[in-house]
Structure formats: C-alpha cells, structure tokens
Amino acid sequence: MITAGGDPIYLDYNATTPVDPRVADAMLPYLTGCYGNPSSSHRLGRQARQALDHARSQVASCLGCDPDEVVLTSGGSEANNAAIRGVVAARGGGHVICSAVEHPAVLEVVLALECEGRIELSIVGVDQWGRVDPDEVVGSLRPDTVLVTIMLANNEVGTVQPVAELAARCRERGVLLHTDAAQAVGKIPVAVGRLGIDLLSVAGHKLYAPKGVGALYVRRGVAVEPLIRGAGHERGRRAGTESLLMAVGLGAACAIVRAELADETERLTGLRDRLESRLRAGVPGLAVHGHPTERLPNTLSVALPGAHAHRLLERLGDRVAASPGSACHADKVQVSHVLSAMGVEPALALSTIRLSVGRFTTGGEVDGAAELILAEVAGTRAGAGFQR
C-alpha cells in the first residue's frame, strides 16, 4: 500500500516530522524578504528584531516560561551540548548523573566530558519499563554533583520519566536538573514551571518545524557558559547572527502545539492503541516495550517474535516507513542501548520495531500499515517453520 502521494505510510514521526504547511506559510515571507540583521538599529533591523522577539515569545508561551529564558539554537543536539557543557564549565567541573537510556545527544556529551577529565559520571539504570527510580538518582547525588540530566520522554519506547519529582528532590539539595524534551514537546504538556526543571532542550524538527532549529530553556539565575563565543547574541549565551527564518518556523510550530495539543494527544493515543490492537491480534507472543501508562501517546515499540526487524523493514521500505529497535553498523546489528538497559532479551530486541504516529497519520493508514506488517511477519514465520 502506497499513500496517494506515492510515499510509503509514514510511521516514523519520532525520527522526524514533516514541516506543517502552516509553519511553511509563516516562514515564507522571511525567506524572500525581511532580510535585516536583528542586531542592526535601522528600520530593516528593527523589523527583523520584532519578528525574532515574536517567535521567541511563541516558544516561551509553549514552554510556560519568559522569553528571556529561551536561547535559540541550531537544534536539540546543540541545546543539549550547551546545557551540559555550559553548566559544567560554569561550575568548574564536578559530578554529573544521567540515565542509561538517554539519547546519544546527551550520552555522548557526558562520556566525552568524562574522557576529557572535566567530570566524574554516574549512569543510573532503569526498570523493565525504561523508567529511572528517583530514589536511585537521589542516592547517587554527591556533595560535588553539579548536574543531573534525565530525558523527559524516551525516543525509542516512549516512556515518560518522573522528571518533576526528580527536579524537586534535586532542588532540595541544590543540584541543577536538565531534561532533554525533544520527544516530549508537541506530544504531552511541557510546562517548565510545573516540572520545576532548570534547563530544557527542544528540537524543532520533532514538532513540525524545519530541521536545523531548536531551543534551550535556561531558568533565570542559572549560570551557563556559552558553547559558541563571539558577539553578544542571545543575551551572551549563544553567539551568531540569529536565523530569523528558522526562528519564525519554530515559533509558529510552538504556537500550533499550544493551541491544539489536548485534542491531538487524544487522537494520537487512539491511533497508537488501534495499531497495537491490530498487531497484537495477528502476532502471537507480541511484546510491547515501554511503560503501560506513562508513555508518549504516539509511540509503539513492539517485538514481533520470529521476525528480524531490519529485514522486515527493508521489505516494507517502499510501503511502510518505520524504525528498527536496533542499529546496523558496518553489516553488524547492534541491540539498542535502551532495550538492553531495560533487560530485553537480545533475540526479542532484534525483532523490535518502533512505530510512531503523528499529526498527519490517518486511521486508514494505521489499518493499512498493520495489514502490511502482519502479512510480512506471517510470511517470515511460515518460512521459519514457526508453530502457533
């Protein structure tokens, strides 16, 4: 089954989202006009500054913070680097805690800082659902702990972490908490005040803005050394002439999220559960990874016993777009570090695919994708001589 436009059924929204046409419309005037530098004092510069300030306010309204607490970045990876490296540099090093299921944009940063001798690192494990135990995190705190970084929602299995509880308990001990919210913003309510966090990262291309733009929330009063130095852009926190075009796109995307989140969350949950129900009915022994209730409304990570995820998705590639639960490097398949941390057996992990629905997914697409997946799985199991 191919969609009307000739593309496969897209069930990979956690990897990236298409640009919402409303976002593209908001950006278009800034692609062909309004070319002034926001730092210039003449009329063109003032026009650009006004548009930039409006976009920043839209991002701030989505997150529930003040505009001056928003740093515009080139994406979620830069935001994570800026938060973690910025705090460590401002504090002069120290002890950092993260979870075993963080995105590489966090894990690789803290591991590099450890190799550089800038920090001592503690990595806390997760339970079978992929959730950290707040008591274990707090028990790992030391007098020299300068930062705890725990993602808000996992990109692979969708598990939502108890970040608000962690933030409250860290604050009691004077420790900063950063959360990578790249997968959460646009799918669940994300209000920095309710979470009580100190720093939060946003990736534009996960919420229907273009690739190449993101944001970092920095709570007022938190000291962060700039990752990129130069002129005093972004209140001295991130040098470089701002990309007005990309900022407008992020702002428009955040405004849409703020207006439509409640209805969209309900719709996505229905589509995800519908997909799970159809797959479960057709695959004996199907296993769902992630927390049963504290999970993103759009994310379904399933193990299909008897199927090899990479081969399955290769066969489905022109009809269904999704992601495997393991990575393939140089002809070798490596089990996902997230599934490994959750204690998933390697054979089950290698049969895992991640299906993520989104704003433009329809019920017909969910049904069609389920039918295609089930047909491929049935063929694989029959060829392997599986017995029901």
**Per-block average pLDDT, block size 10, for the chain (388 residues)?**
72 98 96 88 92 97 98 97 98 98 98 98 98 98 98 98 98 97 98 98 98 98 94 88 95 98 97 98 96 97 94 92 72 84 95 97 98 90 48
Domains delineated in the chain = 9-18+261-383 (3.90.1150.10), 21-257 (3.40.640.10)
**Cα–Cα distance, 112 to 127 (Å, whole number):** 26
Tell me, what's the pLDDT at 378? 87
Query: What's the pLDDT score for residue 35?
Result: 87
**Phi/psi at 115 (nearest 5 deg)?**
-65, -35
Q: What is the pLDDT of residue 331?
A: 55
What are the catalytic residues? 328
Q: Look at residue 282 in the predicted model and tell me its pLDDT.
A: 95
Relative to beta strand 352-356, strand 299-303 is antiparallel
Nearest to 354 by CA among 272, 281, 269, 282: 272
In this prediction, residue 381 carries a pLDDT of 60
Left (φ > 0), alpha (ψ -120 to 50) or beta: where does 83 sit?
Answer: alpha
Would you state the pLDDT for residue 332? Answer: 63
Q: Which of 243, 226, 168, 239 is nearest to 198 (CA)?
A: 168
pTM of the entire structure? 0.94
